[in-house]
Amino acid sequence: MLVIVAPGQGAQSPGFLTPWLEDPTFAARFEWLSTVAGLDLVDYGTHADAETIRDTKVAQPLLVATGLVTALALFPHPGDAFERIGAVAGHSVGEIAAAAGARVITAEQAMVLVRERGKAMAEASAATPTGMTAVLGGDREEVLAGLARHGLTAANDNGPGQVVAAGTLEQLEAFKADPPAKARLVPLSVAGAFHTHHMEPAVGHLGHLARAVSTHDPRTRVISNRDGQVVHDGREVLRRLVGQISHPVRWDLCLETMEDLGVTGILEMPPAGTLTGIAKRALKGVETFALKTPDQLDDARAFCDKHGESAGMENSPTWRMVVSPTKGTFHRDEAAGATDQLAAGAVIGEVASSRDKLVVTANHGGQVVEWLVEDGDLVSPGQPLLRLHPHGAS
């Protein structure tokens, strides 16, 4: 099982794009996305200094464009990718690259959204002096209690021993003076308290724009930052991309889902290293590949061939699949099980996991072709539950 992941803000470094732009095809594609974004991303990725590309308005479009164009270099025939990729996930803004890679939105839509996301988040950050600090080590419960005591948010929960605190600069200073035992605090070079309530104005702006964005259901499993659930409805993927701006990134839950899926290999798109480093600590025995430079492409393709298998979610003109959002026990809805026609949005059942119970709906109505699981069956994230002949979208 192969999972492709895209990094978030902070992964960029001065000049990281230089070797990639030596390829004329890569350069032309990158210049096109730069034009769509209305930013000279070529210059930012080659000549700009660290402080310049730290700017949220620059960093976010730069990272998404890099991920999208590199994906085409890794898979020259994009359709072939879905015969290998079992799931995709992105950390924070990396979710936009992951969504475009899964064909939920186009590359051009992704660049407009990320440009507006970066601008809106930068404006929200300017309203109040805020920041973020990584908390490395320490007892998890003590760390979370310390954050709560000082009014901070665990904006990123990246797995064992790595939580990112976010809030006002005054709150972070108070936390620094009262740190959890055996924890190391590392202030992050970011412009504000991302993934907290301080970003609510940006959510409103992007949500307004998202109403005009057309979507498609993903071609592979999309693992959501919000809760680690597998999402297989295009509108829901987009809704989560917008809402995630002010909600914590639960990368720890994304890793749990990868483990539930049976991941054997994780490949991180450039600028790579952060997410594969976390995976090495959290998912023992899972191979990782940090794609950093173009001279690694042949080895990266071999890695994909070694671990790749289809997610089994290819688009079909004659039927739709309803899939499980998480691991657990499936309980079929009695009414759904007794009919061969389902309305758009109809409940088909629920999946009971160790954490909660999640209702599963058929977002597109249609005729029941076949149930692929029985009541009481154990299911995994993204596992097909029901095949429908569609009658129209909700």
Distance from C-alpha of 210 to C-alpha of 373, rounded to nearest angstrom: 34
**14: in domain:** yes
Q: Residue 192 falls within a domain, yes or no?
A: no
Q: Are residues 33 and 91 in the same domain?
A: yes
pLDDT of 268-282, one tens digit each?
A: 999 999 999 999 999
User: Rounded to 10 degrees, what is the CA torsion of 316, 321, 326, 331?
Assistant: -170
Q: Which residues of the chain have pLDDT under 50?
A: 316-317, 392-394
Q: Tell whether 324 and 378 lie within a shared domain.
A: yes
pLDDT of residue 82: 87
pLDDT given at position 317: 47
Residues 291 and 228 in one domain: yes
pLDDT of the residue at 312: 66
Report pLDDT digits (tens) over 19-59: 999 999 999 999 999 999 999 999 999 999 999 999 999 99
The first and second tokens of residue 386, run together, are 């029901």
Whether residue 169 lies inside any domain: the answer is yes
Say if 76 falls within a structural domain: yes
- What does the pLDDT read at residue 364? 81
Residues annotated as catalytic are: 92, 195
Please report, for residues 35, 337, 354, 365, 389, the alpha-carbon distance to residue 394 in angstroms, rounded to integers and kept in the order given. 34, 20, 30, 7, 14
Residue where a domain terminates, one of 154, 187, 220: 187
Q: What is the pLDDT of residue 160?
A: 83
Q: Are residues 159 and 227 in the same domain?
A: no
- Predicted confidence at residue 106, as pLDDT, reads 97
Domain stop point among 141, 165, 187 = 187
In a domain, 313, yes or no: no
Evaluate whether residue 314 is within a structural domain. Answer: no
One domain for residues 350 and 379: yes
Residues 180 and 281 in one domain: no
Give the residue numbers spanning the domain of 385: 320-393
C-alpha 16: how far from its chain's center?
A: 22
- Give the pLDDT confidence score for residue 262 in this predicted structure: 95
Overall number of domains in the chain = 3
Residue 100 located in a structural domain: yes
Whether residues 115 and 139 share a domain: the answer is no
User: CATH number for the domain including 138?
Assistant: 3.30.70.250
Among 307, 338, 357, identify where a domain stops.
307
**The one-letter amino acid at 300:** A
pTM comes to 0.86
Residues 112 and 140 in one domain: no
Whether residue 98 is found in the same domain as residue 238? yes
* Cβ-based neighbour number of residue 49 at 10 Å: 10
Q: What is the CATH number of the domain that holds 67?
A: 3.40.366.10
